[in-house]
Every structure is written in C-alpha cells, then in structure tokens.
Amino acid sequence: MSYVDAGYAVGLSVLFAYGLGLVLRRRALERRAEISRNSEPDQSTAGPERAEP
Amino acid sequence: MWRDALLVAGKDLRIELRSRVALWQVLPVAVLFLVLYAFALGPVRSTLASAAPGLFWLAVLFSTVLATQRSFAIESGEGTRDGLRASGIDPAGVFLGKAAAVAAELAVLQVVLWVAMSLLFGVHVHTVWLAVVASVLATIGLAAAGTLYGALSAGLRVRETLLPLLVLPVLAPVLLAASRAWAGALSGPLSDGVSWLRVLGPFAAAYVVVGIVLYGPLLEAG
Amino acid sequence: MSVRPKTSARPLPWWARWAGILGAVGTAATVWLGLWVTPPDRTQGNLVRLVYLHPPIAWVALYLAFGLAALSSLLYLWRRTRSLFWDRVAAASVEVGVVFNALTLATGMLWGRPTWGVWWTWDARLTSTALLLVLFLGYLALRRVPAEPEVRARRCAVAALVAFVDVPIVHFSVIWWQTLHQGATVLNANLSPTIHGSMAWTLLLGFVALTLVFVWMVAVRYRIEVLADRTDAAHLEISLEERWSEAEPTSSDVGSARPPSQVGT
C-alpha cells in the first residue's frame, strides 16, 4: 500500500468512525433522556427507577 | 491593585517562612532531579555539561508545578477564598501577589540549583548578566502561567495529575528559550543566547497580562 | 406533571443536516478527484495527492475548530454574552478539533516520510501542531472532571484561551530555534507545490467539503453535550433519591417506599 493510499485510508476511516460515533452517542443519549422522562416521579409509591440505556 | 498584591504576596511568603514546605520539599526534589539526571545520562562530564542548561530548566519547570500546587493548597481551608473575595481585594491583585510569592520561591530555588549544578555537572557561567536576565524573565513567565493554572485546578481532587498535563505544554516555550539562553551564557555563542530573550520577554509579558485579565473571571462566584 | 424540556429529541437544524450531507458528498468527490482524476505532480509524483486531504484537515483543526473554541470561550467569559451555550460550543469544537488535529499529524507524517525520509522533524509547524494537540487533550481531560456546569465552563474557557495564546509563542520560538540551528532547514517544511487547473479546484473542494463536515460534527457534538448535561442532572437526582430511600431505617429492601418527606421532587 502506498503512502498516499494509507493517508487517504487513515483520514477517511477516522472521520467516518468519529462521525458514526457521534451519531450513535446522540441516539443513546436521546433514548436515555426519553426513558428518564417517562419514569418521572409522579408515582410516589414506587421506588426510584434506574434509567436503562 | 498593587497594594493588594503586596498584601497577598506577604501573606503567602509568611506562610511559607513558617511552614517551610518549599524549603524542605520542593527544593530537595529539584536537587534530586539533578542527581537523577546524572544517573539517567551517565557520568561522562561532557554529556552532562552540554545537557546542563536544559536539565536545569527542566528541574525549574517541575518545581514550578510543585510550588504552584502548594500555593493553592494553602488556600484550601474553608472559606479562605471566600474571605478574600468578601474583603474586596482586587482579584488581579491576588493573582499578582500569589505569582510574586511563587516567583520569589523559584528565585531562591534557582540560586541553590545553580550552585548544585556547578558542583555536580562542572559547568560555569561565563556571561552572568545574560543568565540573570533570562532567569528573571523566565521566572516571571513561569510564576504567572503557573499561578493562573494553579487557580484553575485548585480544589480538584485530580489536580496532582491534571495540573502538570495542563500547564507543562504552556510552559514549554520557556523551557526552550531559557535553556538556549543559558546555553549561550554557559558556553555557546553569546549572541544566540541573547536573542532568546526575545522569546522570554513577550512570554512573561503575555502571561502576566493574561493572568490579570482572566484571574477574576476564573474565580468569581459566577 | 412534568414539563417537557425544550431540547428533547429535536432533530438537527436544517443547515447542520445539509452541511453533513453536502460535506459527505463533497468529501467523496474530493477523494475521487484527488485519487483518480487529477494528474500527478512533476516533482512529487503521486504523493501530491495528499494535498487534497492534509491542508484542508489542518485548516479545519487549527483555524476553524480551535479558533471557534477560543472565540466561544471568550464569549463565555465576557459577562455580557455569558451563556452555557458558548461553553458547549467550545467543548464540541475542541473535541472535533482534537480529532482533526491528530489526523493532521497522521496525514502529515504519511506525507513527510516518503518526501523527507523521516517520520518526524522538530520544525516549527510540526512542533506547534503536536503541542496544540497536547494542550487541547488537557482541555478534554479538564472537561471530564465532575463539577458544576458554570465552574467547569469557567475553567475550560480559561484553558482554551491560554492554549490559544500559547501557540503563536511556541510557533515563533521553534522557528527561532531552527533558524539558529541550520541543520533541519535542509528539509523543506513547505509541502505545498504550485498547483493549478483541476488540482486547484479539487483543493478548493476539499477545503469546502471538510469545512461542512466540521460544521455538522460540531452541531451533533453540541447536541450530545446538551443531552449529556441533562442526563447527568437526571442521574444525580435519581441517585440522590436512591440514597435517601436506602437511608430509611425501616426499609429492609432496596427500592422500597421513599421517606414520607420525599413526595415528588
């Protein structure tokens, strides 16, 4: 593999991986926010629920 | 602002004189560094002599980290910082005062290190004025930047590892410039050494100004 | 009844979404043009193809990302414009900037090795870029230290600004260092050849495409920052409630009824 190919490969794969990571992180956090909002404390007898990721 | 600075500097130095932490801990560690360098590099005099300026300033750099950590450790008592704020002292004055105290400690440290280095590494300063001017400028810069970062990391439990990571890259140009200036003063071409003052001066000025400007916003109750 | 917070599960603003799409397309186009359509250089041969990637990445990292971080930090510290919005923009910008910074060094090294024969040299540009990486890694480390949002924001803002001030000083110092030590100037640190025609257009496309990618990344990362802060706050609440119910002397199992004083929040 030439240096040029290596350069493009590294650049593109890192950018892609990081971008993908951002998208996945955001989805996970939005899901968690959704869940913890649904388990809001208007049920005063139930114990505290842990928000599942 | 200047009167406040003198007040704070006086307080810090008095605390140091009473507790003698810098004297008994920071100073010995710095000298220890010199010894360890010799272990690492080998006993050949010429190697040590050529590396001497850089090693000296490395030791000073690490000591700056220790000294600034110490400078803010003494503030960690309950309400000390709030007390300072409530008393209406200008934060810029606090910054200058603390930096001045650290600078004073570093100055004493450098004298001792200089003596130790002459003995251990067999180097002699040919151009004393260059070494002194470089030291003064470098010390001002180190103390200013160090104090700013010391305040930044004060109260953090991870500050022992975080402060070096944050502040050492900032101090890197001082290490470079001061070492080259001292190399000029010790052995190398004098004009080269002198030209490095061109980096030390602006750095010192920049960080004193940056510290004065940012110290208040950094510490305010928000 | 709980009030629905405004920033829940909102889609990205339209300009961010478009930046992402166009950026991805543009980057793909740049790669295609750069690798296959444009001609090789007279002196550098095929190695010149890295010019479509390396300078644009460097531009995004050093000027766009860290410049934005410094500007946002300043705006946060200035009382008239103080808002956690700027702190979050800075944090997002720094993280993206660090990624691009690392890529700058990587692509630079891959270009430098066949060109100069060495992976690394202590010239001004490389040294400053490396130090910049370390400085902003420090920022990221500082960000991870748990603290109140305003306190963390203040600390990080100062760190970002100081880093920004430090880099020109380092850059100048190292230029000076190299000038006085003739040795390394044999290596021509200037990697950009003279380009024209299709090469120039591809290069321009590269800059534009990666700038758009940067915009999209910062937008997503900003949204993550907002969500993370809210999730942290929610988790803190939940763990506090757990602690209170565990402290109740009569309850023998976890998750039992809360102490009577704790009705709702």
**3-state helix/strand/coil string of B151-207:** HHHCCCCCHHHHHHHHHHHHHHHHHHHHHHHHHHHHCCCHHHHHHCHHHHHHHHHHH
- Hey, of C132, C151, C165, C171, which one would you mutate to test binding to chain B, going by the most B CBs within 10 A of its CB? C165
Q: What is the ipTM of this complex?
A: 0.84
Buried b (16+ CB within 10 A) or exposed e, C197-235: eebeebbebbbbbbbbbbbbbbbbbbbbbbbbbbbeebe
Tell me the pLDDT band of C265, cut-offs 50, 70 and 90.
very low
Q: What is the DSSP letter of C72?
A: H
- Least confident range from B67-71, C21-25, C134-138, C184-188: namely C184-188
**Which residue in this structure is represented by tokens 């930090």?**
C73
The rounded percent of chain C whose pLDDT value lies above 90 is: 37
Per the rule left: phi > 0, alpha: psi between -120 and 50, beta: everything else, B20 is left
Contacts of C8 (CB under 8 A, 6+ apart): A30, A33, A34, A37
- Number of other CB atoms surrounding residue C185 within 10 Å: 11
CA distance B208 to B139: 11
Of B130, B61, B131, the residue nearest B102 (C-alpha): B61
Backbone angles phi, psi at C237, to 5 degrees: -60, -45
Q: Which residue has the higher pLDDT, C192 or B67?
A: B67
Q: What is the pTM of this model?
A: 0.82
Answer whether residue C17 shows pLDDT above 60.
Answer: yes
Answer whether residue C27 shows pLDDT above 50.
Answer: yes
Q: Per the structure block, which two tokens stand in for C159?
A: 């760190």
C220 touches A at CB < 8 Å? yes
B145 touches C at CB < 8 Å? yes
Tell me what pLDDT residue A47 has. Answer: 45
* Average confidence (pLDDT) over B64-93: 74
Hey, which residues 157-196 in chain B have their CB within 8 Å of chain C?
Answer: 158, 162, 165-166, 169-170, 172-173, 176-177, 180, 192, 195-196
* Average confidence (pLDDT) over C9-19: 86
Q: Give the highest mean pLDDT range of B77-81, B98-102, C121-125.
A: B98-102
Give the 3-state secondary structure of residue C28.
helix
Answer whether residue B111 shows pLDDT above 90.
Answer: yes
The overall average pLDDT reported for chain B is: 85
CA distance C20 to C64: 16
Q: Which residue has the higher pLDDT, C265 or C245?
A: C245
Give the 3-state secondary structure of residue C45.
strand
Tell me what pLDDT residue B136 has. Answer: 95
Answer whether residue C24 shows pLDDT above 80.
Answer: yes
Tell me, yes or no, whether chains C and B touch by having 3 or more C-beta pairs under 8 A.
yes
A18-21 contact pairs (CB < 8 A, 24+): A18/C99, A18/C217, A19/C213, A19/C216, A19/C217, A19/C220
- With an 8 Å Cβ cutoff, are C131 and B176 in contact? no
* Average confidence (pLDDT) over B203-219: 89
CA distance A25 to A17: 12
- With an 8 Å Cβ cutoff, are C158 and B148 in contact? yes
**Which residue in this structure is represented by tokens 């961010």?**
C16
On whether the CB atoms of residues B218 and B202 are closer than 8 A, the answer is no
Tell me what pLDDT residue C258 has. Answer: 45
Tell me what pLDDT residue C172 has. Answer: 78
Contacts of C196 (CB under 8 A, 6+ apart): none
Q: Which helix (H) or strand (E) holds C154?
A: helix C149-180
Of B139, B213, B128, B208, the residue nearest B174 (C-alpha): B139
Tell me the pLDDT band of C1, cut-offs 50, 70 and 90.
very low
Tell me, yes or no, whether chains A and C touch by having 3 or more C-beta pairs under 8 A.
yes
Tell me the pLDDT band of C157, cut-offs 50, 70 and 90.
very high
Q: Which residue has the higher pLDDT, B88 or A46?
A: B88
On whether the CB atoms of residues B31 and B116 are closer than 8 A, the answer is yes
Of C48, C158, C159, C54, the residue nearest C101 (C-alpha): C54
Tell me the pLDDT band of C59, cut-offs 50, 70 and 90.
confident
- Least confident range from B61-75, C105-119, C226-240: namely C226-240
Buried b (16+ CB within 10 A) or exposed e, B50-64: bbbbbbbbbbbbbbb
CA distance C155 to C91: 12
pLDDT digits 0-9 by tens, A2-49: 888 899 999 999 999 999 999 999 999 888 888 877 776 554 444 444
The overall average pLDDT reported for chain C is: 81
> How far from C193 is each of C51, C124, C188, C199, CA to CA, in Å?
9, 19, 11, 10
Chain C nearest-CA distance from B18, in A, is 31
Question: Which among A4, A26, A50 has the least Cβ separation from residue C46?
Answer: A4
Give the 3-state secondary structure of residue C163.
helix
